[in-house]
Amino acid sequence: MNINELIRSLFSLIFVISTIIIGIKIIKKYDSLKKREFQFLGFSWILMSSPWWWSAINLIISIIFNAQLNNGIYIILSNAFIPIGLILWIYAYAYSMDLTYKRTFTISFFFICMLYECIFIIFLIFYPDLIGYTINLDLIVRTPFSLGFAIFTALTIFFTGILFSLNSIRSKNEEIKIRGYCLLVAFSLITFGSGFDAFSWTSIWIIIVIRSFLILSSIFFYIAFFFPRRLTKRLTINKEI
């Protein structure tokens, strides 16, 4: 593993660990609030990091066992869980926002994602090169099929995430408003990071910038859901002054 691959994998590991921790904490909010949307939101946030699981896991395996996962597992981890994560996010978004046609909206995305999943499985078994191919230890080049769905997912999360954030920003409650701004930053960063990362950059500086945006998105996502109440009071007092 050369220095570029090490840096790429290390940033992936940090991002994956942060999303898993945040996702689990959001899921646990169901225990106190009894809103199923938090379970779906938490699981979706975890699954949205699945394209980086392979790189993170491979780093651990390389260090401990001096080995690496095969290309088949790479392609599966980089693509198979994205549609599931998107379905869970759409459900959480539609029911949290209480959309008029939330059931129809959710079912529509369910069929789109399942169609992609079925075609993905067929390609994986018979034509794996139509999904993507590896060019080094931790980099996969996506085909128009997998790249198109990755961009579709990123844009869907971005636009729905923006609407979700604006709904909080419009609130008269200062704490909810601050959370909304944090969500706005988080969704913007993860869209930019995941969208550009899907193009399989080889420049280490571009990789560092993109992965840094992903890690920052997790930080802002965490702040949005677990914003310190003391800090909220301070910001509110300063604003009044």
Which of 76, 64, 57, 43 is closest to 15 using CA atoms? 57
Distance CA(55)–CA(63), nearest Å, equals 12
Q: From residue 85, give the alpha-carbon distance in Å to each of 50, 80, 167.
A: 9, 10, 22
Amino acid 96 reads S
Amino acid 112 reads I
Q: Is 92 left (phi over 0), alpha (psi -120 to 50) or beta?
A: alpha
Distance CA(26)–CA(33), nearest Å, equals 11
Confidence grade of residue 241 (pLDDT, cut at 50, 70, 90): very low
Q: Which domains, from first to last, does the chain contain?
A: 3-240 (1.20.1070)
Mean pLDDT of the chain: 84
Look at residue 192 and tell me whether its pLDDT is greater than 80.
yes
Averaged pLDDT for residues 155-180: 87
| Count of residues making up the chain | 241
Look at residue 175 and tell me whether its pLDDT is greater than 70.
yes
Averaged pLDDT for residues 23-38: 80
Tokens of 191: 């869209």
- Cβ contact 160:190 at 8 Å: no
Q: C-alpha 19: how far from its chain's center?
A: 8
Q: C-alpha 98: how far from its chain's center?
A: 22
Look at residue 8 and tell me whether its pLDDT is greater than 90.
no
Distance CA(52)–CA(79), nearest Å, equals 10
DSSP state of 52: G
Distance CA(14)–CA(7), nearest Å, equals 11
Q: Is 43 exposed, middle or buried (0-12, 13-18, 19+ CB in 10 A)?
A: buried
Look at residue 156 and tell me whether its pLDDT is greater than 90.
yes
> Within 13 Å, how many C-alpha atoms sit on residue 26's CB side?
26
Tokens of 20: 């898993």
> Helices 3-33 & 204-225, crossing angle to 10 degrees?
10
Summarize pLDDT for 201-212 with one digit per residue, the tens: 667 788 888 888
Summarize pLDDT for 65-115 with one digit per residue, the tens: 887 777 788 888 888 999 999 999 999 999 888 888 889 999 999 999 999
